[in-house]
Amino acid sequence: MALKTIDHLLAEGVDGRHVLVRSDFNVPLDDEGNITDPGRIDASIPTLKALLDAGAKVIVTAHLGRPKGEFKPEFSLKPVAEALSERLGQFVPLASDVSGEDAHERANGLTEGEILLVENVRFDARETSKDDAERAEFAAELAALAADDGAFVSDGFGVVHRKQASVFDVAKKLPAYAGYLVAKEVETLSAVKDAPVHPYVVVLGGSKVSDKLGVIQALAEKADKVIIGGGMCYTFLAAQGHDVQKSLLQDDMVETCAELIKTYGDKLVLPVDLAVAPEFDKGAEKKIVGLDDIPEGWMSLDIGPETAKTYAEAVKGAKTVFWNGPMGVFEFPNFADGTKAVATAMIEATRDNGSFTVVGGGDSAASVRMLGLDEDGFSHISTGGGASLELIEGKDLPGVSAVSE
């Protein structure tokens, strides 16, 4: 199943045509509403510039946060419009609604090479509705913004695993194509899924085993090693009989983890020491302890130095590395060492071993930027955490199928 890409659309010609683009602008904001990591905005620019330079009238849809179908000012795309204006070198107006009067009036008024951003699509409850008819109705309203000769470009990789109106249903209303970002993500991640060069090492973090259960099982069949860190490693340690005290724990998944260890024990790599604290706090006291030595009432917030060394050595010896999920609470400098060790080892593997290294989006990508590491040191940094995991796992992604031939 081949993607229909933006290159096909550009070859057909877009001069004077309305093109509806679904981007992923779900960026983190600080308490003042400032964007703290513009990575997803930066990733959208090549597709938008190509369309604008070709004379298209571009209308962009996107979401931010989880407003749950209501207008909430804190989730407005206003800061995104400002960031886009700066990066594109032209004014990007923001419609006050999603598919209403203001959006239509502004879309109708666009001239060649102009761009419009409409408000957060998740302000409309139909965007994420489980009712096919409701989503189709909203998709028809979005498609109407692109007029009779319009086209749709899917370029928000972070949402292609969602069967939502602006991602999936709208592709049935207009000629649909994959943007540069989605095409690159699918090509790169499919190569890891279908033909990884061995040794192949997967590094998985994150808080819950239940969120990663499918991917652990799928990748343990293909990978040479599956390294486990982050909050979910404590459920595995509990399954081994260790008392993890107040560390994050999914009691209902302990038995499942025991089965995973029994089935894939030769491939799963678990911590041998931990960085612990008496409380979940940025300035908390830090101690390095063995697996059975967590002080009563304390919690682990990162893997320990011996574990970090073991994980880094495994990564540096691999030819393909896929990483999704930090090793600890990287937002706290005192508990970022494990995450930094894995990320640095990936950079070294890329440089020294010619390894193909992929950062699977989400918090992993955010940690690379927060820790000040060289983004160019990795083969690929994905913009979609959940989407990259599901693609690697082998699941069908609705937003990708919608732009495939």
Catalytic site includes residue 386? yes
Confirm or deny that 66 is annotated as ligand binding: yes
Task: Locate all alpha helices (DSSP H) within 195-304, ordered by sequence.
Answer: 209-222, 233-239, 254-264
Catalytic site includes residue 362? yes
Confirm or deny that 97 is annotated as ligand binding: no
Confirm or deny that 361 is annotated as ligand binding: yes
| Contact call for residues 367 and 343 (beta carbons, < 8 A) | yes
**Domains, the chain, ordered by start:** 6-180 (3.40.50.1260), 188-393 (3.40.50.1260)
State the pLDDT at residue 361. 81
Confirm or deny that 394 is annotated as ligand binding: no
DSSP, collapsed to helix, strand or coil, labels residue 61 as strand
> In three state form, how does the secondary structure of 342-369 look?
HHHHHHHHHHHHCCEEEECCHHHHHHHH
Tokens read off for 254: 């302990």
Confirm or deny that 364 is annotated as ligand binding: yes
Q: Kindly report the number of other CB atoms within 10 A of residue 34's CB atom.
A: 11
State the pLDDT at residue 37. 87
Q: What is the CA radius of gyration of the chain?
A: 22
| Contact call for residues 6 and 154 (beta carbons, < 8 A) | no
Catalytic residue among 39, 206, 384, 386: 386
Residue type at position 309: K
Confirm or deny that 363 is annotated as ligand binding: yes
Tokens read off for 142: 């979005």
CA 376 to chain centroid, in Å, comes to 18
Confirm or deny that 64 is annotated as ligand binding: yes
Strands 225-228 and 299-303: unpaired
Catalytic residue among 362, 377, 384, 385: 362
Tokens read off for 60: 């962009």
State the pLDDT at residue 1. 62
Beta strand segments in 11-78, E: 18-22, 57-61
State the pLDDT at residue 225. 97
Distance separating alpha carbons of residues 353 and 5, to the nearest angstrom: 33
pLDDT in tens, 324-370: 999 999 999 999 999 999 999 999 999 999 999 999 988 899 899 99
Distance separating alpha carbons of residues 135 and 100, to the nearest angstrom: 16
Catalytic site includes residue 206? no
DSSP, collapsed to helix, strand or coil, labels residue 152 as strand
Catalytic residue among 208, 287, 309, 369: 208
Confirm or deny that 212 is annotated as ligand binding: yes
**Hey, which residues does 324 pair with through a beta bridge?**
204
pLDDT tens string for the chain (405 positions)?
689 999 999 999 999 999 999 999 999 999 899 999 898 999 999 999 999 999 999 999 999 999 999 999 999 999 999 999 999 999 999 999 999 999 999 999 999 999 999 999 999 999 999 999 999 999 999 999 998 899 999 999 999 999 999 999 999 999 999 999 999 999 999 999 999 999 999 999 988 888 888 889 999 999 999 999 999 999 999 999 999 999 999 999 999 999 999 999 899 999 999 999 999 999 999 999 999 999 999 999 999 999 999 999 999 999 999 999 999 999 999 999 999 999 999 999 999 999 999 999 888 998 999 999 999 999 999 999 889 999 998 899 999 999 998
Distance separating alpha carbons of residues 324 and 108, to the nearest angstrom: 42
Residue 90 CA: distances (Å) to CA of 2, 53, 87, 341, 398 = 34, 12, 8, 40, 33
Catalytic residue among 22, 40, 135, 225: 40
Tokens read off for 6: 């933006």
